[in-house]
Every structure is written in structure tokens, then in C-alpha cells.
Amino acid sequence: MRKLFIMALCLAGTASFAQNRNGKTSAQQLAAPNKNPNEIADYKAITAVIDGYVEGLRLGDVAKLKKAFHKDAIMYGFMGVGTLEGSVDNLYDFAAKHGPAAGITSYISIMHKTANTAMVLVELEGVSPTENSTDYLSLMYKDGEWKIISKVFHLWVK
């Protein structure tokens, strides 16, 4: 079995370093394994979803928040006095109860992205008059659009 594995590995290595008929590696062969799967349009679309999330908080607009999140999204976080666990409906309830966070400011950093997933750090100041938040948002590209599927957060006292 070990010999079979070594033989397969050698064949795969030989195929990956194959040359064309004149003994040279073509530009296409060199570029193929080095292709960047990430497109600027994806980064812009992800940022637009996060901007919508922040704007939903700023306006206290539950409909705008719902547009940013997948219908089955979850959220978990530390709130200083305990944790919040469960459905993103908790966020919608918070926004409906407390209204706009008019003074909110944000810093967005796309930490990593694949063809259909992304992890985004969002630092929020002014989530409430007394709190800031660090949010880690997981997004998934599904049915032609990016949606937040989970939110993990830590609320900070100002």
C-alpha cells in the first residue's frame, strides 16, 4: 500500500511539473496554480452587506438588519453581565427596543475570504450610549448573494 501511495505521489508530481514539447514550462502552466480566486466585486459586495448591517444599527431599522442576515442566522456574545446565545432575532429585538444608534461609527476588516465564505471583523463605537462592540461576522455566498450567517460579539463599556 505504501509503494502504491509513493507511486501515485510521484506521478502527481511529474504531472504538475510537466513541460511542453520543446522542454519549457508554458506561462499557462506557471499561472494556473497561482490564480487568485478572489475578485474585487466580492469584496465590494461583502462590504456592502456589512455597511447595511451598520446602517441598520444606526437607524434602528430592523428591516435593513434583516436584509444583511440570513433568515437562520445565529448570534452569540459576551455582554459584561453574561452571554447572549441563540437566534439573530435577539438583535432585531434589541434594535426595535432601543431604536437608532445615531452616533455609531465602524471599522470593517475582511479577515479572510474564499469563493463562498468570508470572515469579517467589525469594530463598533457607539452601539449604545454606554457600549461599544467587537463583532466577528461569518458570511456565506448562497443563492447569488452574500449574507451574514453568524455573529459572535463582545460588548465593551465605554
Sequence-separated (6 or more) residues with CB below 8 Å from residue 107: 122, 123
Say if CB 147 and CB 68 are below 8 A apart. Answer: yes
75 and 22 in a single domain? The answer is: no
d(CA 139, CA 150): 7
| 89 and 59 in a common domain | yes
The reply to whether 80 and 14 lie within a common domain is: no
Judgement on whether residues 30 and 44 belong to the same structural domain of the protein: no
22 & 71 share domain: no
Q: Compare 51 and 7 and report the one with higher pLDDT.
A: 51
Residues 6 or more apart whose Cβ sits within 8 Å of residue 108: 47, 50, 51, 54, 120, 121, 122
pLDDT number for residue 77: 97
Same domain, residue pair 103 and 63: yes
* Whether residue 76 is found in the same domain as residue 148: yes
User: Given a cut of 60, is residue 9 above it in pLDDT?
Assistant: no
Segments forming the whole domain that contains residue 136: 40-157
Question: Between the CA atoms of 24, 25, 26 and 29, what dihedral angle is there, to the nearest 10 degrees?
Answer: 160
Q: What confidence tens digit (pLDDT) does each residue in 23-82 have?
A: 565 565 555 567 777 889 999 999 999 999 999 999 999 999 999 999 999 999 999 889
pLDDT digits (tens, 9 = 90+) for 103-123: 999 999 999 999 999 999 999
pTM of the entire structure? 0.77
Structural domains of the chain, count? 2
Do both 114 and 47 map to the same domain?
A: yes
* Confidence at residue 148, expressed as pLDDT on a 0 to 100 scale: 98
Query: In terms of domains, do 58 and 18 share one?
Result: no
Q: What is the mean pLDDT of residues 86-110?
A: 96
Residue 16 has pLDDT above 70, yes or no: no
- Say yes or no: 64 and 25 in one domain: no
pLDDT in the model for residue 118: 97
Whichever domain contains 125, its CATH number is: 3.10.450.50
Q: Looking at the structure, do residues 86 and 146 belong to the same domain, yes or no?
A: yes
CB 56, CB 65: distance < 8 Å:
yes
